[in-house]
Protein backbone atom coordinates (compact mmCIF):
# COMPACT_ATOMS: atom_id res chain seq x y z
CA UNK A 1 0.00 0.00 0.00
CA UNK A 2 1.51 3.39 -0.92
CA UNK A 3 2.37 5.88 1.82
CA UNK A 4 0.01 8.79 2.35
CA UNK A 5 0.92 12.35 3.30
CA UNK A 6 1.03 13.37 7.00
CA UNK A 7 3.03 10.30 7.95
CA UNK A 8 5.27 11.96 10.52
CA UNK A 9 3.41 10.59 13.56
CA UNK A 10 1.07 8.00 11.96
CA UNK A 11 3.23 4.89 12.02
CA UNK A 12 3.72 2.72 15.08
CA UNK A 13 7.45 2.07 14.80
CA UNK A 14 8.70 2.51 18.37
CA UNK A 15 7.62 1.34 21.83
CA UNK A 16 4.99 3.53 23.47
CA UNK A 17 6.20 6.50 25.50
CA UNK A 18 3.57 6.64 28.24
CA UNK A 19 5.20 6.87 31.67
CA UNK A 20 3.90 10.28 32.64
CA UNK A 21 5.54 10.25 36.07
CA UNK A 22 8.96 10.48 34.35
CA UNK A 23 7.96 13.05 31.71
CA UNK A 24 8.02 16.74 32.54
CA UNK A 25 5.95 19.34 30.73
CA UNK A 26 3.84 17.36 28.28
CA UNK A 27 0.73 19.12 26.95
CA UNK A 28 -2.64 17.68 28.00
CA UNK A 29 -4.81 16.13 25.26
CA UNK A 30 -7.22 18.49 23.50
CA UNK A 31 -10.02 15.94 23.64
CA UNK A 32 -11.78 16.11 27.01
CA UNK A 33 -15.24 14.67 26.29
CA UNK A 34 -15.40 11.06 25.17
CA UNK A 35 -19.16 10.43 25.50
CA UNK A 36 -21.81 12.72 24.00
CA UNK A 37 -25.55 12.82 23.52
CA UNK A 38 -28.18 11.69 25.97
CA UNK A 39 -30.10 8.63 24.94
CA UNK A 40 -32.16 6.49 27.30
CA UNK A 41 -33.80 3.28 26.26
CA UNK A 42 -33.08 0.53 23.78
CA UNK A 43 -31.01 1.48 20.70
CA UNK A 44 -32.44 0.82 17.25
CA UNK A 45 -29.13 1.27 15.34
CA UNK A 46 -25.53 0.77 16.39
CA UNK A 47 -22.90 2.20 14.01
CA UNK A 48 -19.13 1.75 14.39
CA UNK A 49 -16.13 3.37 12.73
CA UNK A 50 -13.40 0.72 12.44
CA UNK A 51 -9.73 1.30 11.56
CA UNK A 52 -8.30 -0.64 8.60
CA UNK A 53 -4.61 -0.12 9.55
CA UNK A 54 -2.40 0.05 12.64
CA UNK A 55 -1.97 3.77 13.24
CA UNK A 56 -1.39 6.52 15.80
CA UNK A 57 -4.14 9.14 15.91
CA UNK A 58 -3.17 12.51 17.36
CA UNK A 59 -5.35 14.08 20.04
CA UNK A 60 -6.36 17.01 17.83
CA UNK A 61 -7.52 14.61 15.09
CA UNK A 62 -9.69 12.74 17.62
CA UNK A 63 -11.16 16.06 18.77
CA UNK A 64 -11.87 17.15 15.19
CA UNK A 65 -13.61 13.82 14.45
CA UNK A 66 -15.68 14.12 17.63
CA UNK A 67 -16.79 17.67 16.84
CA UNK A 68 -17.70 16.80 13.23
CA UNK A 69 -19.80 13.75 14.15
CA UNK A 70 -21.45 15.37 17.16
CA UNK A 71 -22.40 18.53 15.30
CA UNK A 72 -23.98 16.61 12.43
CA UNK A 73 -25.93 14.21 14.65
CA UNK A 74 -27.27 16.92 16.96
CA UNK A 75 -28.45 18.93 13.96
CA UNK A 76 -30.11 16.01 12.10
CA UNK A 77 -31.55 13.70 14.80
CA UNK A 78 -31.55 15.94 17.89
CA UNK A 79 -29.56 15.82 21.13
CA UNK A 80 -31.85 13.29 22.85
CA UNK A 81 -31.83 10.61 20.13
CA UNK A 82 -28.22 9.44 19.95
CA UNK A 83 -25.23 8.37 22.05
CA UNK A 84 -21.70 8.83 20.67
CA UNK A 85 -18.48 7.53 22.19
CA UNK A 86 -14.82 8.02 21.25
CA UNK A 87 -13.14 4.74 22.20
CA UNK A 88 -9.31 5.23 22.10
CA UNK A 89 -7.56 7.46 24.65
CA UNK A 90 -4.36 9.34 23.68
CA UNK A 91 -1.82 7.83 26.12
CA UNK A 92 1.30 7.92 23.90
CA UNK A 93 3.34 11.13 24.22
CA UNK A 94 4.90 12.46 21.01
CA UNK A 95 8.36 14.03 20.97
CA UNK A 96 10.09 16.36 18.54
CA UNK A 97 13.72 17.40 18.22
CA UNK A 98 13.18 21.03 17.29
CA UNK A 99 15.80 22.51 15.00
CA UNK A 100 16.55 26.20 14.62
CA UNK A 101 15.98 27.62 11.15
CA UNK A 102 17.60 31.02 10.89
CA UNK A 103 20.93 32.49 9.81
CA UNK A 104 23.78 31.39 12.04
CA UNK A 105 21.82 28.53 13.60
CA UNK A 106 24.59 26.05 12.80
CA UNK A 107 26.73 27.57 15.58
CA UNK A 108 23.97 27.23 18.19
CA UNK A 109 22.62 23.72 17.89
CA UNK A 110 23.99 20.24 18.25
CA UNK A 111 22.13 18.56 15.37
CA UNK A 112 21.38 14.91 16.11
CA UNK A 113 23.61 14.68 19.19
CA UNK A 114 21.41 13.72 22.20
CA UNK A 115 18.31 14.05 20.01
CA UNK A 116 15.70 12.68 22.42
CA UNK A 117 13.18 15.45 21.78
CA UNK A 118 10.72 17.46 23.84
CA UNK A 119 7.06 16.45 24.37
CA UNK A 120 4.77 18.17 21.85
CA UNK A 121 1.47 16.29 22.08
CA UNK A 122 -0.30 12.99 22.64
CA UNK A 123 -1.61 10.24 20.39
CA UNK A 124 -3.84 7.17 20.66
CA UNK A 125 -2.51 3.90 19.29
CA UNK A 126 -5.17 2.09 17.26
CA UNK A 127 -4.80 -1.43 15.87
CA UNK A 128 -6.30 -2.82 12.69
CA UNK A 129 -9.94 -3.77 13.28
CA UNK A 130 -10.29 -1.68 16.44
CA UNK A 131 -13.34 0.55 16.97
CA UNK A 132 -12.66 4.27 16.96
CA UNK A 133 -16.18 5.74 17.29
CA UNK A 134 -19.43 4.06 18.36
CA UNK A 135 -22.85 5.64 17.72
CA UNK A 136 -26.10 4.26 19.14
CA UNK A 137 -29.35 5.81 17.99
CA UNK A 138 -32.92 5.59 19.22
CA UNK A 139 -34.38 6.50 15.84
CA UNK A 140 -34.15 4.48 12.66
CA UNK A 141 -31.98 6.95 10.72
CA UNK A 142 -29.21 4.85 9.19
CA UNK A 143 -28.25 7.55 6.67
CA UNK A 144 -27.54 10.12 9.43
CA UNK A 145 -25.30 7.69 11.35
CA UNK A 146 -23.41 6.78 8.18
CA UNK A 147 -22.90 10.42 7.19
CA UNK A 148 -21.75 11.43 10.70
CA UNK A 149 -19.16 8.64 10.76
CA UNK A 150 -18.06 9.47 7.20
CA UNK A 151 -17.44 13.08 8.27
CA UNK A 152 -15.52 11.90 11.33
CA UNK A 153 -13.43 9.46 9.25
CA UNK A 154 -12.30 12.29 6.98
CA UNK A 155 -10.53 13.88 9.99
CA UNK A 156 -8.55 10.73 10.85
CA UNK A 157 -5.19 9.66 9.36
CA UNK A 158 -6.27 6.12 8.50
CA UNK A 159 -8.74 4.51 6.11
CA UNK A 160 -11.85 3.39 7.99
CA UNK A 161 -14.93 1.33 7.37
CA UNK A 162 -18.42 1.95 8.73
CA UNK A 163 -20.35 -1.00 10.14
CA UNK A 164 -24.05 -0.57 10.94
CA UNK A 165 -26.01 -3.11 12.98
CA UNK A 166 -29.74 -3.10 13.61
CA UNK A 167 -30.49 -3.84 17.24
CA UNK A 168 -33.36 -6.07 18.30
Largest CA distance in the chain: 69
Mean pLDDT of the chain: 85
Enter the pTM of the model: 0.83
> Is residue 39 pLDDT above 60, yes or no?
yes
> Is residue 2 pLDDT above 90, yes or no?
no
Angle of helix 142-153 versus helix 59-76 axis, rounded to 10: 160
DSSP-derived letter for residue 81 is S
Domain count of the chain?
1
pLDDT at 117: 78
Indicate the pLDDT class of residue 1, thresholds 50, 70 and 90.
Answer: very low
Torsion sign (Cα): 23, 27, 31, 34: positive
Confirm whether 56 is domain-assigned: yes
Indicate the pLDDT class of residue 139, thresholds 50, 70 and 90.
Answer: confident
Residue 51: domain span: 26-94+117-166
CATH number, domain containing residue 54:
3.90.1170.10
In 3D, which of 93, 100, 95 has the Cα closest to residue 118? 95
CA 130/CA 42 separation, integer angstroms: 24
**42-73 pLDDT tens trace:** 888 999 999 999 999 999 999 999 999 999 99
Amino acid sequence: MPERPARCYRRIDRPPYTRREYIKGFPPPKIRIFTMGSFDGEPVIEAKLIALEDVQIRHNALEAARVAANKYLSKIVGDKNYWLRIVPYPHHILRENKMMAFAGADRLQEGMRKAFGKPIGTAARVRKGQEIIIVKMGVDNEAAAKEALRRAASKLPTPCKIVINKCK
